[in-house]
Amino acid sequence: MTPAEAKALELDAADPGHRELFDVPPAQGGAYPEVAYFAGNSLGLRPKATRVELLEDLDAWAELGVEGHLDAARPWLPYHELLTGPAARLVGALPSETVVMNTLTVNLHLLMVSFYRPTRSRHRIVIEDTAFPSDSYAVRSQARFHGYDPEDAVVRLRPRPGESSLRTADVVEQLGGDVALVLLGGVNYLTGELMDIPAITKAGHAAGAMVGWDLAHAAGNVPLQLHEWSVDFAAWCSYKYLNSGPGAVAGAFVHERHLGAELPRFEGWWSTEAKTRFEMTPESRPPASADAWQVSNPPIFSMSPVRTSLSIFDRIGMPALRERSLRLTGYLEKGLDDVEILTPADPARRGAQLSVRVGRGAGELSRRLRLEYGVIADSREPDVLRLAPVPLYSTYHDCWRAASALKEVMR
């Protein structure tokens, strides 16, 4: 054992995290039985409690049939409400501002029905040039739906020449009087940059625009205060840092000032207030809460893993996770001292991700790391490898393994 590896194990003993709560996949290659998992920014690991608690909900169906809507230990009719409080605490929101429903891009579309209301003089949508493709598809289709040319309506922000991250000042400069909507990623999926959400939100409002955030890579990764920051709306998935399983049910936020307002909105069975839902009237009576943006009956067995995961975050807390994230990511960064890192060096401007430029063949490099060293990382062709040391379950020894293996395969 080298002194560097011994030091990593020493750090793990002093700062252990919560790996014991998760199922870590076995390694296919390398000298260690478990993988060093750095793809939690793509799909988080499964909490061990997920299987047990999901089976409890499934058993209620077997034992109660339709009566499970009211008589299950966790009744299905109000089941989504079990997720509201923990989700609100996670993103710094009021419970009335928060709802768990659908999937991320569906939620963005439902929210843009309300918050993208273009006019001839104000119809542009500002996004980052390296936005996740589904966000680009969504805003382009929204502009097209309203009769505008996406090539003109969608403003794509690029870093300055020679830089890989957006400067807040450069974002603010683009927020002119023709901007109807600002929709940025809270943490950029490619570079791992944490945007200055409060400053950009304030600037967007000063320009007369609505401001929304895609928090797919921010929720469960960095502390958020959506209510305090006066964000108009936000949406996030729960299968990355929130560890709720592939395609898991997503979340949405609508600021308190918009609740109960006369906004355009699509409605369905679950958009009406719960106390009158079974009066079966032809007109919806939406509550003055984010629940008004719901459309369909919640999928109980898909919500169950989200509830399990949120309970872990509630118990441990984002402040503690953020502190460990800073320590862990900083340690990994030191191990990657001889490669080009695209992610901002300032810890306050990033989450639990370091994006490394590796030259062409990022996918092949990722495959070698997995098969030869048992290190799972995420690649983005042609030349970016993304490593996410997740504070819940990643270890310093994992970081040592990843840095050592990367040096070997790049040699």
The predicted structure's pLDDT at residue 28: 86
CB 111 within 8 A of CB 293: yes
Query: Residue 245 and residue 239: Cα distance in Å, rounded?
Result: 5
DSSP state of 46: E
**Relative orientation angle of helices 362-373 and 396-410, to the nearest 10 degrees:** 120
Give the C-alpha separation, 69 to 290, whole Å.
22
The whole-number mean pLDDT for each consecutive block of 10 residues of the chain, a chain of 411 residues, reads 95 97 93 96 98 97 97 96 98 98 98 98 97 97 98 97 95 96 98 98 98 98 98 98 97 97 93 91 94 95 98 98 98 95 97 94 94 95 96 98 94 80
In a 3-state reduction of DSSP, which class is residue 236? strand
- The residue behind tokens 């994992």 is 398
Token output for 368: 């070698």
CA distance 287 to 67: 26
Closest of 287, 264, 266, 289 to residue 277, by C-alpha: 287
pLDDT for position 292: 97
Contacts of residue 346, defined as CB under 8 A and 6 or more positions apart, other chains included, come to none
Report the C-alpha gap between 164 and 287 in whole angstroms: 44
Instruction: Report the SS3 class of residue 198.
Output: helix
**Distance, CA of 349 to CA of 182 (rounded, Å):** 20
Q: pLDDT value at position 360?
A: 82
What is the radius of gyration, based on Cα positions, of the chain?
22
- Tabulate helix, strand, coil % of the chain (nearest 5): 45, 15, 40
Two tokens, residue 158: 């690029």
| Structure tokens, 34 | 């478990």
Question: Domains of the chain (ranges plus CATH)?
Answer: 3-41+317-410 (3.90.1150.10), 55-314 (3.40.640.10)
Residue 410: the pLDDT is 87
CB 208 within 8 A of CB 240: no
Asked if 247 and 306 count as a contact pair (C-beta separation under 8 A), the reply is no
> Which residues does 19 contact at the CB level (< 8 Å), separation at least 6?
392, 393, 394, 395
Strands (E), 33-186: 36-37, 46-47, 98-100, 124-128, 154-157, 179-185
Given this model, what pLDDT does residue 378 score?
Answer: 94
In this structure, are residues 242 and 248 in contact, taking their beta carbons and an 8 Å threshold?
yes
Q: Quick one: CA torsion of 129, 134, 138, 141, rounded to 10 degrees?
A: 90
